[in-house]
Structure 1
Amino acid sequence: MSRLDRYAFKVDYFDAQASLTRQYLLLYYTEDSTVEMHDLKTKRVFLKRCTYPSLNPKELFIGATVGIFSRSLKLVDYGDEVTRRHFSGGVGEFIIVINNECLNEMGNIIDKMTFLELRITNARMTNCPENVCSEFNITKRSVVILCNGSDASVKVATLKEEYPKITIISNPQGIALIRDVAFGPGSTTAVTRDCSVCVIKPHAVMSGYHGAILQRLIDEGFHITALGMYTLSMADAEDFLEVYNGVVPEYKRLVEQMSSGPCWAVQVCSENPVHALRTVCGPHDPEVCHVLFPHSIRSKFGIDRTRNGVHCTDLEEDAPLESEFFFSLMQNM
């Protein structure tokens, strides 16, 4: 896919104070990573062209939510035909089902998808109904991944060759059925006791680290009991991180980071899971991790106290609450 000088997208922004959705035209200039916004109602410039290097072009696809200056913007349509042709040409949509027998390799599989530039637009661990399992020859407990990309058919064939136990679904009817089963509201695979929650932060997801982090959790002996890809609004992030308000000086930046794009929530179980997960993740500050815990997740994938790779449950009593937030509230929104 050749590169354009400018991408144009129509975006929605929910103004909580006014309780209404505002629509803008978002322009992204590839030559210098600058952005510009126009109010579609008033036809006026809302944001003058300015540098915004933290916005990755890979984040720009229909259905995505991006954060620009603390505003969560949902990309709902292309802004012009040139952008539409550029992003739509040769793009195929597939569902990858990681069946039960290869769940211990799910991180490696997702890492391979990142390497192949297959864009993941949704992911969920689910218990599929028996009739769906029979129709598509998939296991009851599985991880369902919705993905797309240019030359996707060639790329998923490469993935299938390396991981033959996964299931590929390509026909539109099958994709629609599995999407409803896996990503619609309903029951969860999450447990309510002896668990902890790891949230792979948006910056780590956009950097392509989510597969490696998932595999690290598996290799450390954690049993993954629930998993989902979610995009939090500012209000959602404030609710989730409320316990840190007034406790850590970077609370506002934590909220901005957690709502800046898709995150992956992972529920894990093990003996003494909260302590075990905190040990593997390391302290909040990656600089401390580099010195004292160089093999920790935050040492390897963290940048600073805000973009430190992952959030993990700090207190045992918070584990059920954090599980409920993602695998009940967010999952059924």
Structure 2
Amino acid sequence: MEDRFAFLAEWYDPTAALLRRYQLFFYPTDGSVEMFDVKKQKIFLRKTKYENLHLQDLFVGNRVNVFSRQLNLIDYGDQYTANKLGSKKERTLALIKPDAVSKMGDILEMMYASNMIVTKAKMTKLTWSQAADFYVEHQSKPFFNNLVQFVSSGPVVAMEVMGDEAMSVWRKLLGPADSAEAQREAPLSIRAQLGADFAHGSDSVAAAARELEFFFPSTMGRGPSNTAHCSECTCCIIKPHAVSQGLTGKILNSITAAGFEISALKMFSVDQANAEEFYEVYKGVVTEYPSMVAELCSGPCMVLEIHGSDTPKIFRGFCGPADPEIARHLRPNTLRALFGKDKVQNAVHCTDLPEDGVLEVEYFFKILDD
């Protein structure tokens, strides 16, 4: 019998203003998908090969794009799928502390190599009070004040990480708390390479739940605020295809190696209406507009504020021509030449006009960051 995974998925139909529910079936042997309308009790999409959906994308809580429909995976469709794909799945917090933020590209590459998926991410600057609340269990320890002072001394990057046994995988990747011990026993670990106190990982399921709620609250409230300046800046979006292909770390490394300052960062899942609004300036001007919208809302993207005077013009040159093939001929060291596939999946979006830099940053970090 052919291997098949089943999920319960929801799709908001903007035309009818209805939330529609489907069973989504994925066949890993040939990458085919099939959809069954739960309410109408009939096949909605017959089994069709679809190259843009992969097994690693399939987990409860994720949003996937199937033929331009954004589907929220809300539950497993059968016990077989739950047993095969859900039994070992965990979410945990990975926190990059101030002294290691410049190395976040390297850390993300190490995560990807360890089969961990970053599902949420945010750069923030904790106040003393917030840092003290986060480390409240260490309040009686002699190192508490120094720890709070350090963590609140500059921006941190908080991430929700998901994967098979993610908590133990991340803590193993971190290595022993003592950097000398880490260098002896786990020379490839983060603490061996970067230092003992450069990153944090949850040490229990309860701690992971509390710490994730601190940075990414599921109830009312926004958690610690983002670090966007919204002045003298430009916007960079690492597109969903690049995120899903594990290129985020490489792109961040390229940006920082070129001397650009990443002053704000957050992962967003953009819906169709917001994607159309953001790209509205290209409507009727660029033939790829519909495909650009579909790509932007096809999965999580990572949005960056690049800060500095005259940054929009310089950073646009660093991204290269919109067509990666042209970029590879004319500007082979640009981001799109190195990481792009075609004019739509060209790795990154960057602000075209200098006067739009602040507006694009504000769109994400003020309007959509609710």
Indicate whether 1:149 and 2:163 are aligned.
Answer: yes
What's the TM-score, normalizing by structure 2? 0.85
Aligned to 1:80: 78
**Is the 8 Å Cα contact of residues 56 and 206 (structure 1) preserved in structure 2?**
no
**Is the 8 Å Cα contact of residues 128 and 182 (structure 1) preserved in structure 2?**
no
Aligned to 2:326: 288
**Is the 8 Å Cα contact of residues 167 and 202 (structure 2) preserved in structure 1?**
no
TM superposition shift of 1:237 = 0.8
**Is the 8 Å Cα contact of residues 6 and 77 (structure 2) preserved in structure 1?**
yes
Task: Please give the residue correspondences for 1:5-44 in structure 2 after superposition, counting only pairs within 5 Å.
Answer: 5-44=3-42
Find the residue that maps to 2:345 and give its secondary structure: coil
TM superposition shift of 1:62 = 1.2
Which is further off, 23-32 or 88-97? 88-97
**Is the 8 Å Cα contact of residues 94 and 170 (structure 1) preserved in structure 2?**
no
**Is the 8 Å Cα contact of residues 195 and 270 (structure 1) preserved in structure 2?**
yes
Residues 235 and 290 of structure 1, relative CA distance in 2, 3 Å threshold: same
TM superposition shift of 1:177 = 3.6
Task: Please give the residue correspondences for 1:102-113 in structure 2 after superposition, counting only pairs within 5 Å.
Answer: 102-113=100-111
**Distance between the aligned counterparts of 1:95 and 1:183, measured in 2?**
10
Structure label with greater radius of gyration = 2
**Is the 8 Å Cα contact of residues 22 and 36 (structure 2) preserved in structure 1?**
yes
Counterpart residue type for residue 29 of structure 2: E
Counterpart residue type for residue 292 of structure 1: L
Aligned to 2:58: 60
Stretches of structure 2 lacking an aligned partner (at least 5 in a row):
136-146, 176-188, 192-197
**Is the 8 Å Cα contact of residues 167 and 201 (structure 2) preserved in structure 1?**
no
Counterpart residue type for residue 42 of structure 1: K
Find the residue that maps to 2:317 and give its secondary structure: helix
Aligned mate of 1:174, from 197, 207, 220 = 207
Counterpart residue type for residue 265 of structure 2: L
Superimposed CA distance per residue, residues 307-328 of structure 1 (whole angstroms, 9 cap, x where no aligned partner):
0000001112211121122112
Counterpart residue type for residue 190 of structure 2: Y
Aligned mate of 2:45, from 21, 44, 47 = 47
TM superposition shift of 1:173 = 4.0
Find the residue that maps to 1:17 and give its secondary structure: coil
Which is further off, 305-314 or 51-60? 51-60
Which is further off, 148-157 or 214-223? 148-157
Find the residue that maps to 1:271 and give its secondary structure: coil
Aligned to 1:254: 292
Counterpart residue type for residue 26 of structure 2: Y
TM superposition shift of 1:81 = 0.9
Counterpart residue type for residue 332 of structure 2: P
Find the residue that maps to 2:9 and give its secondary structure: strand
Aligned to 2:181: none
Aligned to 1:91: 89
Residues 150 and 71 of structure 1, relative CA distance in 2, 3 Å threshold: same
Task: Please give the residue correspondences for 1:309-320 in structure 2 after superposition, counting only pairs within 5 Å.
Answer: 309-320=347-358
TM superposition shift of 1:158 = 3.2
Counterpart residue type for residue 245 of structure 2: S
Indicate whether 1:190 and 2:228 are aligned.
Answer: yes
Aligned to 1:126: 124
Superimposed CA distance per residue, residues 4-47 of structure 1 (whole angstroms, 9 cap, x where no aligned partner):
81111111101111112111110000111100000111111011
**Distance between the aligned counterparts of 2:344 and 2:203, measured in 1?**
39
Residues 181 and 323 of structure 1, relative CA distance in 2, 3 Å threshold: farther
**Distance between the aligned counterparts of 2:101 and 2:210, measured in 1?**
22
What's the TM-score, normalizing by structure 1? 0.94
CA RMSD of aligned residues (A): 1.6
Find the residue that maps to 1:212 and give its secondary structure: helix
Alignment coverage as a number of residue pairs: 329
Counterpart residue type for residue 157 of structure 2: V
TM superposition shift of 1:155 = 2.1
Indicate whether 1:163 and 2:185 are aligned.
Answer: no
TM superposition shift of 1:129 = 4.0
**Is the 8 Å Cα contact of residues 93 and 170 (structure 1) preserved in structure 2?**
no
**Distance between the aligned counterparts of 2:3 and 2:167, measured in 1?**
27
Aligned to 2:268: 230
Indicate whether 1:201 and 2:239 are aligned.
Answer: yes
Which is further off, 46-55 or 147-156? 147-156
Between Structure 1 and Structure 2, the one with more strand by share is: 1
Aligned to 1:306: 344
**Distance between the aligned counterparts of 1:49 and 1:249, measured in 2?**
30
Stretches of structure 1 lacking an aligned partner (at least 5 in a row):
none
